[in-house]
Structure 1
Amino acid sequence: MPESHRIPIETATATGSPPEVAAVHHQADSDDWIVFCHGLRSDKSGSYEGRCRRAVREGYNAVRFDCRGCGESDGAFVDATLEARLADLRAVIEYFDPDSYVLFGSSFGGKMAVHAAATDDRVRAVATRAPVTTTDTFDEYRSTIDRDGAVQFETGERIDRRFLEALDRYPFDDVVESLSVPVAIFHGGADDVVDPADSFAAARRLETDVLLERFAGEGHRFSRAAEDRLRKRLFDWLEWAGGESGRC
């Protein structure tokens, strides 16, 4: 049965007990691990639960978690910059302490995954779906933040200047220079949120083995059929990647 965990996050501004992020561990009888990173305004529920169940069938311990300010985790969404989310991911990894692991990130979680993989030699492979690889993705918000100080979404979540400043501190150039493990990129051909052309440009720049698949007709959210195909392709690819770099 999946086990729920509350993982403390040390922050510079916290007083009293540190805030906690919520994580779920789907256990498998193996030493292989995969950790899933959700998108900007998403959480660990929905497709991530299904991906974790599939991962267990494939022999992986799987972990899904909510970044601070999302889902069941503590904190405010406005504080969940890229730096903060990477700190959340590091805390989750240190909590479970795998010898090696695979990262999967979707959309903004894809940016988390590639930057984390570029700085942790325990990562054996990184897979992404519609990853954010350029700051251009958020250009529409810059003028609003410059004018009003923040962007508030219809669901009440808010980002401010700190979000863009943190994003600018993590250029894709850093990934290109440091990432050496196999990378998989899956992207919907009709995505109107993250431009599929960004993934093709990123794949051309990376100096490691890259699998890039364009899912014709799929948008930023995949259909059920495309999600099923994604899961099959992901674990078929990981079987290959395990042979290239040691079992993932």
Structure 2
Amino acid sequence: MSMEERERVVESLPAEVTWDEMAMPEGDLHSEGKRQALGALRGYFKQQRRRVYVGTELPIYYPGERRFAPDLLVVLDADPHLRGKWVVSREGKGLDWVMEVHVGGDRKKDAEYNVRRYARLGIPGYFIYDRARERLEAYRLPSPEAREYVRIEPRHGRYPSEVLGLELQLDEERLRFWAGNALLLEPEEMNERLRGMLDGAQRRADEEARQRAEEVRRREEAERRLAELQVELERLKSRGE
């Protein structure tokens, strides 16, 4: 098959999955779990100016494998432009990190089948965010050649991900990402912090303007008083003469 023919085949691959291939919708807990993590990771890697693709529910095509669409996926050293699908043969590499968000129903797909499948595909890191039980399960490949996961044990409540260079933690029903001692803020939190900084800067500017206006008023009052005193002095001199 020529390159042009191969490209036409890739282009013809669907950019969506069927209902049979997807889990049933699980409401706000499921969508919020993905959205918050997506925003935090995209913001972090953008700030780091790293070429990292972060996507959600993207149809994934591995050669000879049935397509699938993980809740959240990360590919290192990949252009972060928008995509409708990830075709390994076109992109030149597979996924580096996957997270599935589980809310209800049968856990076997995420906790058993995907553990075996993602390891067999050579995906280095796999996390399960179980919102029903409020816990994390984390796996990694012990070597690039390995095709069986080992569990990642938490350290002081945080699960390290060598792939991401981050640590994950559940905190008050929210999934948090840490870069060392720095907490990765979600977009809403970043906006709120920026608004707070802007409000603080505006208050300081208003206070400085008020102080400058008060200084001008005092100076003008002092100048007016000085002029009055000079007039009074001249009046007294004229009387003395």
Tell me the TM-score normalized by structure 1.
0.31
> Which gives a bigger RCO, structure 1 or 2 (Cα 8 Å, sep 6+)?
1
The structure that has the greater radius of gyration is 2
Tell me the TM-score normalized by structure 2.
0.32
